[in-house]
Amino acid sequence: MNELSASSRITYRAVMVRPGVARRIRGLSDRTLAWLFITPTIVLLLAINIFPLLWTIYLSFTNYRANRANAPTIWLGADWYQSILTDPDIWAAMQVTAHFVIWTVVIETVLGFGLAYLIDKKFRGHGMWTTIILLPMMLSPAVVGNFWTFLYQPQIGLFNYVVAFFTGRAASSFQMLGDVTLSPWAIVIVDAWMWTPYVMLICLAGLRSIPDYIYEAAEVDRASKWRQFWSITLPMALPFIMLAVLFRGIENFKMFDMVNLLTGGGPGSTTEVASITLKRAAFESWRTGYSSAFAIILFVTVFGLANIYVKALNKVKSR
């Protein structure tokens, strides 16, 4: 009885002593309250995403240079776009990017799916092996770039010694990062080492989502393991593999940090991927308008690929 009267006293006091703000908030509709909560996020999004994007689009049509901010800005129309899309050097950078993207995606998908297939068998100690395999993915690209630079050293690098051990060549007879033929493969190896575990994780999720009863039905029908793999495992895991391929494709298309740390685009321009060319145009040549146009071209490409990625993601979700 006492408790009841105490609680009602508290309620009474709360109703009687209403602060002004609380009274005003109570008068607001649910819709207004929702807008009140999401407005800071929208403002932040506009300030740090949408405005810079619109500003970059504007700059891509001008001769603006960030190191001469006070110089008069002249409207150039689509000149920079025309210049970039007819430039053989930029075209070459796109081909270097393509080499990097295609080979990393192929190697990561094949190895990642293979590892996922093995891990899915749940052998003794598979949990520990999963953790060990996932370790490279958890490292920072800056750290990975730096320590692979040491591993690739011709004099002291472990990588050269391992290759020398298996091939019989002298360890110092080749330079992974300094050779025109080997350097594109050096960055492919590092990226594959770092991101294969990620592809493995996605493929493992795909393999674990296949119900056991399908395999049991196949066993009843006396389907061989090979037939089960091609008719059940691969088709059912395919949306997940597609997801991994698209994600890695998009990420590697805009790869910058690791390539910059390992080779900086060299030797010459053999590993100069699109993002390195963009950085050089923007912050070494200070051609801000030109680099803005280039950034927009890359952005549209990534945005287009992201649309396909979202479509694939929805397909996976609907399963």
Partner 1 sequence: MSLDASPTIARRDLADRVLRRGPLEALATTIIAAGVVMLMQPFSLTLYSWSFATTLFGTVMFTIVSKVRE
Stretch that binds partner 1, among 11-19, 66-74, 181-189, 298-306 (CB under 8 A): 298-306
Going from the C-alpha of 313 to that of each of 211, 237, 247, 254, 318, the distances in angstroms are: 20, 13, 10, 20, 9
Using an 8 Å Cβ cutoff, are 63 and 289 in contact? yes
88 forms part of the interface with partner 1 (CB under 8 A): yes
91 forms part of the interface with partner 1 (CB under 8 A): yes
In the complex, minimum distance from the CB of residue 232 to partner 1, in angstroms, rounded to a whole number = 25
CA–CA gap between residue 273 and residue 283 (Å, rounded)? 16
Return the residue of 95, 167, 173, 285 that touches partner 1, per CB under 8 A.
95
Return the residue of 86, 140, 155, 318 that touches partner 1, per CB under 8 A.
86
Return the residue of 97, 233, 252, 275 that touches partner 1, per CB under 8 A.
97
CA–CA gap between residue 58 and residue 313 (Å, rounded)? 33
* Nearer Cβ to partner 1 (89/216): 89
168 forms part of the interface with partner 1 (CB under 8 A): no
What's the length of the chain?
319
Return the residue of 59, 63, 64, 101 that touches partner 1, per CB under 8 A.
101
In 3D, which of 250, 248, 242 has the Cα closest to residue 299? 250
81 forms part of the interface with partner 1 (CB under 8 A): yes
Contact string 171-210 vs partner 1 (x = CB under 8 A): ----------------------------------------
305 forms part of the interface with partner 1 (CB under 8 A): yes
Return the residue of 73, 163, 301, 316 that touches partner 1, per CB under 8 A.
301
169 forms part of the interface with partner 1 (CB under 8 A): no
Using an 8 Å Cβ cutoff, are 253 and 305 in contact? yes
49 forms part of the interface with partner 1 (CB under 8 A): no
**Which chain residues interact with partner 1 by CB under 8 A?**
81, 85-86, 88, 91, 94-95, 97-98, 101, 297, 300-301, 303-305, 307-308, 311
